[in-house]
Amino acid sequence: MNDSRIWAALEPLHPSALEDMPMDGTWLKPPYHNDPAGRAVVCNDDDFQFVVVDRKKGSVLFVCEDDESLIASSLDTFVRIVSAWGSIDRDAPGPEDDEEFSAVRKSFESQLKVLDPPAAGPNEFWSLYTEELTSDDYVDFDDLDDDEDEEPETDTGDNDRPGADESFSVA
């Protein structure tokens, strides 16, 4: 699959719809550079995560260090998934509202199973992403109090010593 075919699918989504996608990085325009496996890098965080399009199969994959997971089986289904995700992303409460978020997540998962059953698999991108959001390890840093960001003051022990201008006498 050449760059023009990839861009034909991504251009209508660029940049706003792609920016709603739950992955860090910059969505790129052609010409696309290839990763070591010969896949087109379409989104890159300039660190260790990126999104690629397999030029032979047309599938869209999320790559994070040595792990890969399927985002979409093809560019065509990727476009439909981005659209489905965008409508949910705009309307979804955050994970802090467990009941509503769970309903929205289940709705998206149901849509995904219809749009692209392989991408809805248990160890693929969307499943891993929603699992991470709903785990107890998820912390919304915006909800933390500002006080928690400050370092506690440490007691140096100087409080008990007389100051330089103080004198004490031994009686």
Tens-digit pLDDT profile for residues 118-167: 999 999 999 888 777 655 544 444 444 544 555 555 545 555 444 444 44
Whether 2 has a pLDDT exceeding 80, the answer reads yes
Residue 54 pLDDT greater than 50, yes or no = yes
Of 159, 10, 155, 17, nearest in space to 84 by CA: 17
Whole-structure pTM value: 0.73
Q: How far apart, in whole angstroms, are the C-alpha atoms of residue 101 and residue 163?
A: 58
- More reliable by pLDDT, 112 or 168: 112
pLDDT of residue 67: 92
Cis, peptide link before residue 15, omega less than 30° from 0: yes
CB 130 within 8 A of CB 69: no
Strands (E), 7-113: 26-27, 40-44, 49-53, 60-64, 67-72
Could you state, in order of their start, the residue ranges of all structural domains in the chain?
3-138
DSSP state for residue 34 in the 8-state scheme: B
CA–CA separation, 26 and 92 (whole Å): 23
